[in-house]
């Protein structure tokens, strides 16, 4: 793998750029727009603006997962740190703004912290801020697409490792993809390692629907930003007023679905290809699967992990699992 490393000083992160392919965005959008149910993978939400909008979602009163998971990390951080063990290399998949890791870093001294994220600028600034605040921790930021096969930068192979995958991002994979992803993580971390993972729980539809249809319209802006990104980066001409955000819990599938609904008969051009949208036709942009504790433990076991501990809040909104290898 091609990694570009900048030098590291105390209080400064090292930066390993695996250059996640831009070409895939074009391919994935064009092939997704051609399907009978049009779809675009949710990982493309996270350009610079999308990452900022996602941070804003995490602050919304309706979006309970972030604050509930942070409460769990704060409340049970010392116990979690015991499972992880001092001197481990912490590897975070999809680190975003690296906010949650701060709670763990307050409870634990890792040998190093490796945040992995596809959003280069966002990762760079988050790693810089974190390195300033935790100068004693060696930070190696890795710009990569964690949903693809991946290797860690050199020097970490022999150290005990703990993965950190908060936020229920596992729910954005199809269950079979989630199993494959966990299997890849197991191979990457290696025997004797562990994984601390946040998983959103199944619950009544009204709470889920509110979480993905906030009153301020931030989730709608996050969803629509995908079209803006296509316009900007792939010579698209989506009319942003011609599509509307739609999110609904599909209880049969156990997932919240997000779509962009076409409000009229319209032609859209992307990369010199034209796509015709009927009124009411949707572009499916995200699934967010919700699991019971048992369902998730079964999934993790099928990928080679052993469930060790699970922490939940009083209302059973969210769970954090520690799995070992
Ligand atoms: C990142 N991921 C776990 C979020 C979720 O809840 O599925 C993304 C999100 N989509 C809409 N709101 C938040």
Predicted local confidence at residue 1, as pLDDT: 44
How buried is residue 11: exposed, middle or buried, by Cβ count under 10 Å (0-12/13-18/19+)?
Answer: middle
Does the C-beta of 51 come closer than 6 Å to ligand 1? no
Atom of ligand 1 nearest to the CA of 54: 13
pLDDT value of residue 2: 42
Task: Tell me what the mean pLDDT of segment 231-237 comes to.
Answer: 97
Lowest mean pLDDT among 24-33, 147-156, 196-205, 288-297: 147-156
**Nearest CA, atom 1, ligand 1:** 169
CB 172 less than 6 A from any atom of ligand 1? yes
Nearest-CA neighbor of 277 among 36, 13, 2?
36
Phi, psi (deg, nearest 5) at residue 44: -80, 0
DSSP characters for 96-163?
TT--HHHHHHTT---SEEEEEES-HHHHHHHHHHHHHH-TTS-BEEEES-TTS---PPTT-TTS-EEE
The answer to whether the CB of 166 is under 6 A from ligand 1 is no
308: Cα separation from own chain's centroid: 23
The finding on whether 168 has its CB within 6 A of some atom of ligand 1 is yes
pLDDT digits (tens, 9 = 90+) for 108-137: 999 999 999 988 888 999 999 999 999 999
DSSP H or E stretch at residue 66: helix 64-84
CB of 225 sitting under 6 A from ligand 1: no
Nearest CA to ligand 1 atom 6: 288
Cα-to-centroid distance, 318 and ligand 1 (Å): 13
Residue nearest to atom 7 of ligand 1 (CA): 288
So what's the pLDDT on residue 227?
98
Cβ-in-10-Å burial (0-12, 13-18, 19+) of 7 comes to: exposed
pLDDT in tens, 39-65: 999 999 988 899 899 999 999 999 999
Under 8 Å CB-to-CB from 153, ≥6 apart: which residues?
Answer: 3, 5, 14, 16, 114, 140, 142
> Is the pLDDT assigned to residue 302 strictly greater than 90?
yes
For the chain, give the percent of residues with pLDDT over 70: 97
Question: Which residue out of 218, 288, 319 has the highest number of ligand 1 atoms within 8 Å of its CB and is therefore the one to mutate?
Answer: 288
CA angle 130, 133, 138 (to 5 degrees): 60
How high is the mean pLDDT of the chain? 94
| pLDDT for residue 20 | 79
Decide: 173 in ligand 1 pocket, CB within 6 A.
no
288 CA to centre of ligand 1 in angstroms: 7
* Cβ-based neighbours of 74, under 8 Å, separated by 6 or more: 103
Model confidence pLDDT, tens digit, residues 62-94: 999 999 999 999 999 999 999 999 889 999 999
Pocket test for ligand 1, best of 99, 181, 212 (most atoms within 8 A of CB): 212
- Ligand 1 pocket, residue 286 CB under 6 Å: yes
Please give the pLDDT value at position 11: 82
| Rounded Cα distance, 171 and 289, in Å | 4
- Residues 6+ positions from 277 with CB-CB distance below 8 Å: 242, 262, 264, 265, 266, 267, 268, 283
Give yes or no for residue 25 having a pLDDT over 80: yes
The per-residue pLDDT for range 245-286, each reduced to its tens digit, is: 999 999 999 999 999 999 999 999 999 999 999 999 999 999
Q: What is the sign, positive or negative, of the torsion defined by CA atoms of 148, 154, 158, 161?
A: negative
Using one digit for the tens of pLDDT, what is the confidence trace for 143-167? Answer: 998 888 889 988 887 788 999 999 9
pLDDT (0 to 100) of residue 130: 96
pLDDT(8) > 90: no
Contacts of 144 (CB under 8 A, 6+ apart): 18, 20, 116, 117, 118, 150
- Residue 235's pLDDT is 97
Does residue 182 carry a pLDDT above 70?
yes
Can you tell me which residue has the tokens 């190696």?
140
Answer yes or no: is pLDDT of 206 > 50.
Answer: yes
- Cβ of residue 94 lying under 6 Å from some atom of ligand 1: no
- Residue of 131, 147, 109 whose CA lies nearest to 15: 131
Percent of the chain with pLDDT over 90: 85
C-alpha distances (whole Å) from 242 to each of 12, 146, 153, 277, 278 are 45, 33, 44, 10, 11
CA of 111 to the centre of ligand 1 (A): 30
Looking at residue 41, its pLDDT comes to 95
Q: Which residue did the predictor score with more confidence, 20 or 181? A: 181
From the CB of 141, is ligand 1 less than 6 Å away? no
């Amino acid at each position: 793998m091609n990694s570009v490393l900048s030098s590291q000083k105390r209080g400064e992160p090292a930066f390993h750029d695996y250059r996640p392919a831009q070409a895939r965005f074009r391919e994935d959008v064009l092939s997704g727009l051609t399907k009978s149910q049009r779809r675009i993978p949710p990982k493309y939400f996270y350009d610079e603006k999308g990452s900022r909008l996602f941070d804003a979602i995490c602050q919304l009163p309706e979006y309970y997962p972030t604050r509930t998971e942070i409460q769990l990390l704060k409340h049970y951080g010392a116990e979690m740190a015991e499972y992880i063990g001092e001197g481990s290399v912490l590897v975070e998949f999809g680190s975003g703004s690296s906010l949650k890791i701060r709670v763990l870093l307050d409870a634990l001294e890792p040998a190093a912290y490796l945040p992995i994220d596809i959003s280069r600028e966002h990762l760079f600034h988050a790693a810089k801020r974190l390195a300033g605040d935790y100068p004693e921790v060696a930070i190696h930021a890795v710009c990569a697409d964690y949903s693809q096969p991946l290797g860690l930068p050199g020097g970490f192979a022999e150290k005990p490792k703990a993965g950190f995958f908060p936020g229920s991002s596992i729910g954005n994979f199809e269950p079979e993809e989630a199993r494959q992803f966990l299997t890849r993580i197991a191979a990457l971390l290696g025997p004797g390692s562990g994984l601390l993972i946040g998983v959103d729980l199944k619950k009544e539809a009204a709470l889920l629907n509110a979480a993905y249809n906030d009153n301020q319209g931030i989730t709608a802006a996050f969803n629509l930003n995908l079209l803006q990104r296509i316009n900007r980066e792939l010579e698209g001409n989506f009319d942003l007023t011609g599509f509307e955000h739609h999110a609904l819990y599909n209880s049969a599938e156990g997932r919240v679905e997000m779509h962009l609904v076409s409000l009229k008969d319209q032609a859209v051009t992307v990369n010199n290809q034209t796509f015709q949208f009927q009124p009411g036709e949707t572009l499916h942009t995200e699934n967010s699967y919700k699991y019971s504790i048992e369902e998730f433990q079964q999934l993790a076991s099928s990928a080679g992990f052993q469930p060790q501990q699970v922490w939940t809040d009083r209302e059973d909104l969210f769970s954090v699992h520690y799995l070992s290898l």
